[in-house]
Structures are given as structure tokens and as C-alpha cells.
Structure 1
Amino acid sequence: MADFFVVDMQYVMDYCVTCEVVTASEPDVKNKALYTPEIRTTRRRTCRRSVLQGDLDAVWKWSITWQLPLNLDKCTVLHMGKHNPNHSYYLSHHAIKSVASQSDLGVIVTEDLSWSEHIAAASNKAKRMSLLLQKTFGRCDPHTCSVLYTTYIRPILEYADPVWAPVLARDEKAHFKERLSLMHLTPFANRRLRGDLITTYRALHGLFNVDVSHLFCLNADTRLRGHNFKLTKERFRSTSREFFLPNRVFNSWNGLPTAAVNACSSACSVNGFKSAMDRWFASVSS
């Protein structure tokens, strides 16, 4: 069986993807086979309902041809945007149910682009892991505790962090500076900023498998001081857009020294950029 997750992103942003179809896989226990089809259809803001419905009809015909039945009860549609008309979509005359949030590749996306639900889910999962480790290992020294935290808990909190960011005050958890200092750990906010800067460096230098450089607008003014990859800040009218990666990293990225950004540009070395950036942060903090 395979189920669908339909995203209807009309009237959100002028340039963004507006219609997307994502298929999730479900194992066929009877035949002991795992079908993992993934089909995405991309449309601009001006796309009509008939276009996306036509894509769904084509997917349905494809599933019939290849004998891959769809689990219609698990198919959902997520309407995004304040002025979204919330059209109904069908698979073989079966109405796809509408949802307010949906998990896509482990990240919970909501209809208002708020990340509070995803942050709460990640925090609860990290708490459960923390209690499990506490029951398993009991009291341990700071070094062991640090290893357990960085191995089992921190990856849960930092999963896909370039995509989401805490916006509301309730999403920001208190930092235990004494405990972090005792275990020689960096606060989560600092690690998130470091991850954003690394993602920006990789995107601008084409070090991803897909081209995402179009998400960042470089400043064409050559009279500016500093490195050669300064960004232009985008105008925004929504909080979700304000905390989008290129906007939230704008000040920190443009404030990096030339030695950290330009020194490794010729070789496009991510490790070299990390080392130069860490040295600069260490000198500033000291």
C-alpha cells in the first residue's frame, strides 16, 4: 500500500512551490514487499485546481497500471495560506480528507507555517529519550552524560533545523548554562546558528545535490566591505517569512570576516569554513 500527502500552497509566496504531491510508503506485509514510490508535482502560484486534480488522476492511473494500490484512508491534503480557497481533491471519486498539519520527512508542517507543533513533538521525543537513558545508566559522570546527550538526544532536537526555527517565546526552552558548561557543551541556539551558516555556505557554493542557491539573493554592490558573498535582505510581511533561513541568517552571515568566507572559496571546503568560523567565534567570545 502507498498513501498520499497533498500540499496545496496557494497564495503563500510569489515564487514558492504551490502544489505538491508527496507519497509515503507502507509495507505490504502479505507479499513481504516494501513499495516506496515518491511523486512530486510542482506548480506556480497561478496554478488552478484542475491542474493538481489532473496530476492526482494521472497518479491514480499509474497505481492501477503498476498494481500498486493506494491507501485512500491515509491520503490527506494540507491547505496552506490565509486566502487559500480550500478546494476538494479526489482519488477515484474518493474525497481526500483535509488536515491542519502533516509530517513530511520527519518535519511537521502546519497550515499556518508555524513550527510550534514540530518543536513540541521534538521536545517530547527528546524527553522520552532522556528518561530512558536515565533509567538505563542512572547517575553518571559529566563526560558520560555528555556523550549520551550528543549521541541520542541532540540529534533529535537538531533534526532538519535549517528548515524550521523557534519563533514564539514559548518555543524557546530555558538553557542550563551551568550544566552545559560542566559537560563542555554549546547552547542549542549557538549550534542552530552555526548550522544555518554552514547550510548557507554549502548552498552558495553548490555543495548540495540540488541547486538551492536561488533561495539566497546576493548583494551586487561591489562597494561593500567584507567578503564577496554578502546577502540582500528580503522584504517580508509575515513572521514565518521573517524566520526563513536567508532572512534569519542575514546579519550573522554578512558579519562574518572575509578570512572565514573567502579563504576557502576556491576549494569550497566545508571543513575549512567550519574551522575558520569556529576560530572567529572563539576570538569574539573571548
Structure 2
Amino acid sequence: MESNISTSATVSKFADDTKLANPVATDDDIKNMQDDINHLQVWAETWQMRYNADKCAVMHFGHQKQHHTYHMGETELKETNEEKDLGVLISNTLKVSSQCATEAKKGIRALGLIKRNFAFRSRDIILKLFKSLVRPHLDYAMQAWSPHMEKDKKVIEKVQARATKLIPSIQHLTYEERLRRLNLTTMEKRRERGDIIQTYRIMNQIDRINPDTLFQKADYQGTRGHSQKLAKSRSRLDTRKYFYSQRVVENWNKLPESAIQSPTLLCFKQELSKLGF
């Protein structure tokens, strides 16, 4: 498929989902994009795996985006401002408020189910139900949509706060005290830990992701810290500044060499716990 696609384009495939990305700034870029769509259509028809053009859409990113109309065969592709990609809502502004609200609603619905069906709400029961039915919604693909705006953080945090209030013996306590009693961290702290663990997985090739596609190694390692320090690139917009590969750098670089050199993922997680993550 990729042999006929322009060199500036990127094709991503997962199961029956295909995404084509291309930088578009000139008329030639627009032509290249349409040509690439045509090549995808020809490939699909050749292999009898035709795309449903009515379900395909175009999303434009950037402040100077070119709003051009594209076609797949005779069908004009609709333009969309928000699309779900593997369970994550992606908007053309790259803001995550919709995703945060959606996952928070799922968590609250799960809490409502628990409240209606469990009259006896001991500490152990509520914790197990929260971790198995509620928190997965707040954790799913978090590296892709971790919020940086306070209003979005609060939306996620309130779900855990409501969950801890389901336990009668501690519901009168402050949120911080309830977390301490339950040996839980804030969701924000949990996201930080998740970022660091994901970085370890990538840097150690546990996940099949080339680290160079996400991270930039620091030119100067210095004598303090560890031997796998990363560098931040300049960010003009907050969208880039708080992207996973940028926001994790500071916490990753703070880790001691003993943690970085952990032989297994389990050992690494244990080291993080000792360090307060």
C-alpha cells in the first residue's frame, strides 16, 4: 500500500481502521493528498476490502489549515471536528475536554450501578469494585489524553472522590484523608506514574515503539541523575508542551540510576513506589 503513497504522508492501520495523514499548505499538497486517497481506494478495491466512504471523514489540524474538499470515488468526504480513534476522542484543536467529560460520565455511571446494587459497602468491596469497574475508564490510553487544564483535572478527580465517599466509615473525612486511609493517590499522581512506566516500557523495548519517534536524548548527561536522560524540545503551544513525550521528561530525568537500570518492569514499579510515585 505504502509504495504508492507520497513520501510526506503517513499511513496508520489497525484492524479495519486506516488513517492517512499529510501536511497540507500548498495546492500541490492538496493534490498529493487527493492522490494518496485515490491510491488507498485502488489498493482496497484490488484486495476486495473496499472502504465505506460514508464512514470516512477529513479532519484539519493547525491554525493555518487548508479547508479543502476531498473525494473517495464519487463520494465527497465529510469534514469533522471530532472523531473517536480506538476509544479516544480526538478533536481538531487537540483539546481533551470532551474526552475527560466522556470518561468521567462512564465512571459516574459505574458508580451509580455500584450504589444501586451493593447495600453493604465495606472498604474492601468498594475498593475492588472501583479498581475493576470505574478506574479503568479514567486510565484508558491516558498517555494520549492526560489533561493539563485544572478544570479537566477536576472532572476526572471528582469521580474518584465520589467513589471514596461510598464507604460509610470514612465518608465524613476530607478527600486527602480518605485517600490516605485507602492507600490511594490522586488521579493526577497516578497519571504521572503511568507516564513514567510507559517511558520505561518504550525505552526498554517492552512495547514495540521506536524511542526515537517520541523522545530526544539529552546531549549533556552530566554527573547527576542517570544515563538515559531525555531533552525537551521547544514548544510554542501548550498542546505540544503538555504532550506525553514532553511532560514526562522532568520526572523521568529525576529518577536515580538504580531505578532506570531495573531488570524487570515489576522491579521498576517497586522502585517508583519507594520514590513516592
Q: Which residue of 1 is the match for residue 116 of structure 2?
A: 135
Matches within 5 A, 1:39-58: 39-41=18-20, 43=22, 48-58=29-39
Identity of aligned residues (%): 29
Q: What residue ranges of structure 2 are gaps of 5+ in the alignment?
A: 1-6, 162-174
Counterpart CA distance in 2 for 1:209 and 1:107 is: 20
**Is the deviation greater in 48-57 or in 196-205?**
48-57
TM-score, normalised relative to structure 2: 0.82
Match of 2:74 among 93, 103, 115: 93
Change (3 A) 1:239 1:281: same
Give the conservation status (yes or no) of the 8 Å contact 1:19–1:43.
yes
Q: Which residue of 1 is the match for residue 248 of structure 2?
A: 249
Q: Which residue of 2 is the match for residue 272 of structure 1?
A: 267
Measured against aligned partners, the alpha-carbon deviations of 1:203-251 in whole angstroms (never above 9, x if no partner) come to 2222212313331111122434111111212211101011011221222
Count of paired positions: 251
More helix by share: 2
Aligned residue type for 1:243? Y
Change (3 A) 1:23 1:89: farther
Counterpart CA distance in 2 for 1:130 and 1:82 is: 40
Q: Which residue of 2 is the match for residue 221 of structure 1?
A: 220
Change (3 A) 1:139 1:182: farther
Matches within 5 A, 1:56-67: 56-67=37-48
Q: Which residue of 1 is the match for residue 168 of structure 2?
A: none
* Residue 61 (structure 1) shift: 2.4
Aligned residue type for 1:273? F
Change (3 A) 1:272 1:213: farther
Q: What residue ranges of structure 1 are gaps of 5+ in the alignment?
A: 1-16, 25-35
* Residue 58 (structure 1) shift: 2.1
TM-score, normalised relative to structure 1: 0.79
Q: Which residue of 1 is the match for residue 138 of structure 2?
A: 157
Change (3 A) 1:232 1:255: same
Give the conservation status (yes or no) of the 8 Å contact 2:82–2:92.
yes
Counterpart CA distance in 1 for 2:29 and 2:202 is: 31
* Residue 67 (structure 1) shift: 3.8
RMSD, aligned α-carbons: 2.4
